[in-house]
Amino acid sequence: MKIEKRFLTAMNRCYSAGCIEVDGEPRILLATEGEGPCLAWTGADFDSSHTVWEGPGGTMSIVPIPGTNGEFLAVQKFFKMFQWEEARIVHVRPLAAGGYAVTDVLHLPYIHRFDLLTVGGRNYFIGCTLATTKESKEDWSDPGKIWVGEFSGKGPLQVRVLKDGLSKNHGYSRLSRNGSLSSLVTCEQGAFEITPPARVGADWAIRQFMDWPISDISAIDIDGDGELEFATIEPFHGSYFRIYKRVGGQFKKVFEHPEVSEFYHVVVGTTLAGVPVFVGGCRRGRQQLFYVRASATAPLEFELEVIEEGVGPSNIYVRHEGGRDIIVAANREKAEAALYFVT
CA distances (Å), 166 to each of 71, 158, 170, 171, 206, in order?
30, 21, 9, 11, 13
Helix (H) or strand (E) holding 100: strand 100-107
List, for residues 302-341, the tens digit of each pLDDT value.
999 999 999 999 999 999 999 999 999 999 999 999 999 9
List, for residues 121-163, the tens digit of each pLDDT value.
999 999 999 999 988 888 999 999 999 999 999 889 999 999 9
pLDDT above 70 for 82 = no
pLDDT above 70 for 81 = no
List, for residues 247-300, the tens digit of each pLDDT value.
999 999 999 999 999 999 999 999 999 999 999 999 999 999 999 999 987 788
List, for residues 187-223, the tens digit of each pLDDT value.
999 999 999 999 998 999 999 999 999 999 999 999 9
- Asked which of 74-83, 110-119, 275-284 is least confident by mean pLDDT, the reply is 74-83
Parent domain of 10: 3-342
Pairing of strands 336-342, 3-10: antiparallel
What band does 179 get if pLDDT is binned at 50, 70 and 90?
confident
List, for residues 31-45, the tens digit of each pLDDT value.
999 999 999 999 999
Write the CATH number for 46.
Answer: 2.120.10.30
Q: Count of domains in the chain?
A: 1
Counts of helices then strands in the chain (DSSP H, E): 0, 28
Judge contact between 122 and 149, C-beta under 8 A: no
pLDDT above 80 for 170 = yes
List, for residues 102-114, the tens digit of each pLDDT value.
999 999 999 999 9
Rg, C-alpha atoms of the chain: 19
| For residues 52-76, average pLDDT | 97
What band does 3 get if pLDDT is binned at 50, 70 and 90?
very high
Report field, pTM of the whole predicted structure over 0.75: yes
